[in-house]
Every structure is written in structure tokens, then in C-alpha cells.
Structure 1
Amino acid sequence: MFSDYYLVGISIGGPSYGDDVTEAEGLAIICTDRSVQVYLPETDGAHTLKDYVLQDTYELTEEQYEAIENLIDREKLCAVEVAENDGCQDGRFYTLGFYDDDRNSVGCYGGYEPLQNEEEFWSIYNEVCNNASLDKAEVIRDKWIYEALLSEYGDDFPVAAGVYSTQEYVMIGESDLWMLSDEDAMDDDWYCDYAVTDLDGDGYFEICKCMTYNNGPVTRLKIYEVTENGRMTAIDTGLLDDYPDLTVGHYSEPIEISRDDTGKPLYYVCNFVSNGIEGAEHHYGLMYIEDDALHFDEIPDEDMKLTGEKVTLGWFSEVTPDNVYASYKTFVNEG
């Protein structure tokens, strides 16, 4: 069913001219060998498109590729008849639509590669140049692939413990669940940082959301974990004053680790408790996840039994696939 190339996305970026940045279209395409190729535009001094330069290549799994084929069959992709020519091996022109959570189109991109002529390029360019940024397009892409996988597998969506690639689609696909909402942030003095973790060590990654008011140090902490059937669920984080404060000023020091008799990781962290005009009290203890709930047990320094292990949390404020991946690499110490 596939021709050699299908456009599946766009990037918006481009060369800088003095203080101005001119937007230009980039391409992300799925090939019949299940590779995804990402091209960026090359322009001349007159700001006109010269060529596309291959920037990166990554592979889809067989399951992801089949899910995309099934979406085409279900007309999630818009198929338009065109006359056969050298660029249209099967006589069809495909367009991929990106949709937001309310099913509103936020971009519709398509065509065969190479583009047939300059007129076709500018037609497509004019459709997309006012749409999503590269980061936004990447988030939409991951959400779309996540939706494709859910459509394919439903409640049997297989998510393996410790495998990041599929869990990224879940984290991005369910990001509306864990991103800062209007309910969380009552005014503009709240800001939010996120980090990918595996605090309970079960191989299913969590998103820690640390909300800080007016530069802290007192924070609100919420945690959401990927499940084995491809969803995210909230971890019970208790009452406001029981939240450990994992970040101050978008950063946190490496966290020391203890372990219980079963080997479960226990994290030695601080909980700042507001004390009105006198500031904040420092309460130190062990944080851990048990029975889908976050626990924080205060403990005197002399009773601590540290293992010498430490873990660093990689915080980010803008939700993009690259930032989520970098945070994961930081936590597993591969950064």
C-alpha cells in the first residue's frame, strides 16, 4: 500500500538573517523499510529553498508501522486521487493530519518525495508555515503514534518494563494528564518542573511534577507512572505538608539512596515546611513508593544507612520528546 515515501510531519525552523529568523519547512517521512527520515531545509541567500538535507534517521517497530498502516485503512489519513506519474508509483497522494485532543486539525501535511515542482512546494509551505513549532510538532507526532498504538491494541497495549521507546509515547501521549493545568496554577507565580524517574525500580517510568510558588522553596509534588497496559496513573502523594521538595530553582542536588531489606530504593530527601514569617523548617527523611503511594518517613541523620548510591534528577519545564529523553538519560545515568 505504501509508496517509497510518505510525509508524516513537519518541522518549523530555519536560517537566521541578522536579528530575524525566517521560518522554513522541514520534512519527516516514513519509508517502506520502516525508517523515519528527518530532513531540514537548505536555502540560498535569497531565502528560497535549494534542497533538503537529511538530518536524522530512526526506526519504527513493526507494531508501530502496522498501526500506521491500519490508520490509513481507517481513513485517519486523507487519501486523494491524483494522476499517475513518475513520482506517484501507486497513483495516490497521501496527507497526514495532526489533531489536537479536541480532534481539531492543527496541520495537514503531505506529498510525494521529491516534491513535484516549485508550485507544489509553495502550496504545502503555505499550509504549514503558520502551524506548529518543531517542538510542538514532535509532541503532536508522539501523541499521534500513541493514539495509533491504542487504536491497534486497546487494553492489550503491551508496554515492557525498562523499555524507554514505547514508554516515551505513553508519557507524551498522556501529557495532558500530568502537565501543569489551570487548576494546579492559580496564578502566574506558579512555575513547574518535570523529571523522568523510576523511583520504585520496577521499570515503569514516572513523571515527577514539582510545582513551585514564587521561587519556593516549598513545592507541591505530583507523580504519574506508566502502567503495563500503556496508560499513566497518578501516585498518591498525600497531604500538602508531606511533599518532599525535590527541586529548588529548576535544579536539585544528587539524591543519596538507602535500601530496605528487600532492596527497594529509599531516597534521602528534604521536606521544607513553611513556618510563616519565620521561613521554612527543614525535615529530612526517606522517600519511597509503596502500594501506589508516596511515603516520606522522617529519620534522624544518625539513623541513616546510606549505600553510596546516588541518583540525579534531570528537570525540564518545556515538554518535548528531547527533554523527556534527556531527563530519562540523566536518571539512569546515561547522560
Structure 2
Amino acid sequence: MSPLEMPTAGWIVLAIVQAILMLMLAPLATGFSRVIRAKIHSRQGPGVLQDYRDIAKLLRRQSVAPANSGFIFWIMPWVLVVTMLLIGMALPTVTQVSPFPISGDIITDIYLLAIFRFFFALSGIDSNSMFAGIGSSRELTLGILVEPILILAIVVVALSVGTTDLGYISHALANNHWQHPLTVVLAGLVCAFALFIEMGKVPFDGAEAEQELQEGPVTEYSGSALAMVKLGLGLKQLVVAQLFLAIFIPWGKASSLSFGGLFSASIILLIKLFVVFLIAGLVENTMARVRFTQIHRTIFPAFLVAVLALIFLIFGW
């Protein structure tokens, strides 16, 4: 399916259902991460469904905003959810092509991720809260350090395959069209590192850090608005995990819209997501915290590996 080709009704339905399921499963993914954290810390902790209860409770409460907050403060929760749903609709999660190719270009997806971070950080500044402003500054700084690595890694893969269409990239790698295998492997490692940070994991973000700087931009949110923010942040974790799987682990997908193929591909996808979140949870809770002022020293080697992948691509490796 061409990126500019209008998808048929079947593909549109699949894209919508796919996005809705991601939205429904986002609290389950974050709840699973909390369960892993509790087990590693040798405590009982909340149940895997606790995030559903928290969001349901917040949705029944009134949203209160600072007196000096502006328009950005109110629309930010919706921007978080909508941008992630647009990416989720386009990801070739259970099929070999993108079900919604209009937003299935990796450049578009990178911009949507940037919009997510921009509004998330800007809302903290718009709230006129000093604490939220510090958190926003931290979020933007982290984005400046991480996004070039992510962009370079994905662009290297796109250049290797010869297209920026996410569906074509996934299909090509799934069918072993690895013209530059070493380049793709290095880009995959760097992309996994960058997306690990995008998921908000330690040592780059503190576990349960509402009282720290990680969630500084959402300090002033409450009620249903806070529920939407939590849903958007959880949805981002699920989306970026599936973005990595769609590009670098693209096997086990349906070749058509048949029920049997989609069902088996969905089971395989759930298994892959379970493994990804399990590994991310184990790494997150077995690493020491890093001071924010030292994060660039951790990220810079990953940038060098991304540059090395680009050099390997130039030499045809």
C-alpha cells in the first residue's frame, strides 16, 4: 500500500480497532511494570489492574486548574492521547503493511513524538508553576539529548531499506531483505536504548516520581485531566514499544486481513510485548539512578554507535 494511497474500509477499521485496543491496554502495560518493580523490591505492591482503578477514580473527579493557566494547559492531555493514537493507527503491529499509511511515514511519526514532548513540556510552563517549569525544562533537555539518537537510528534503517514508509520497512526486514545487516543491528541497539528512555525508565526517570522532577509538568493537573495525562503517558510506552517491534522484530504478522492470520499475529504480538516490558522492567529496576547532570555522559556513547551505524551504511556493511 502506497503511503499516499487511500486505505480501504477494511484497513481503516483495522487501524481504528488497533488504536482503541492500544488505548485499552495502556493501563495494563503500566500496571505490569509496577508489578515487576514491586516483585524486584520484595514487596507486594499494587495489582496489575491498579492503573485502571486509578484512572476510573480520577475520571469521576473534577479538574482544577491554576488561575493563571492558559489554553495549552487544557489541551495538553488531549494532544498526548491523540498523537499517540495517530501513531498507533499506522503501526504495522499485526499486518505486514501499515493499516493507515497516511500517518505511517517514520518522519511523520517522529514529528508526532516531538509534538507529544513539546506540549507535555509547554503545559508545565503554561501552568505558571515554578516546580512544573523546572520539570518542563528537564523534559526538553532530555528530548534534545535523546531525539537525535532516535532520529539517526531510524533514518539509517530507512536509508538501508530505501524508503521511509513504516510498512515497507517492516515488510522488507520481515522477508530478510537485509542489504546492510550490521548497520541494521547497530541501529536496532541504539533505537532500543533511545526508546527505553522515551518510555520514561530509570535511570533517566525515577520510579513513582510524581514528587520529583519527572512528572513536574503534570504537577498542577487533577481529576479527569490527570487521568487523560496518565493514559497518554501509558499509551506512549505501549506505542514506542510497538514501534521498535514493528521495525526491528517484524516477524509473525498476518499477510492478509483473514481472521485466523490476525488472531495468530495478535497472540504473537502480545508475547513480544510481554517480553519487551519484562526486559524493560528488569533493566529499569536493576540499574542505579543517574544524576540528571550526568545523563549526557550516558547518552553520548549511544550517539557514537548511531554515527557508527551510519558509517557502516555508507561503506555498505
- Larger gyration radius, structure 1 or structure 2: 1
Higher relative contact order (CA closer than 8 Å, sequence separation 6+): 2
Higher share of residues assigned strand:
1
**Structure 1 length as normaliser, TM-score?**
0.24
**Structure 2 length as normaliser, TM-score?**
0.25
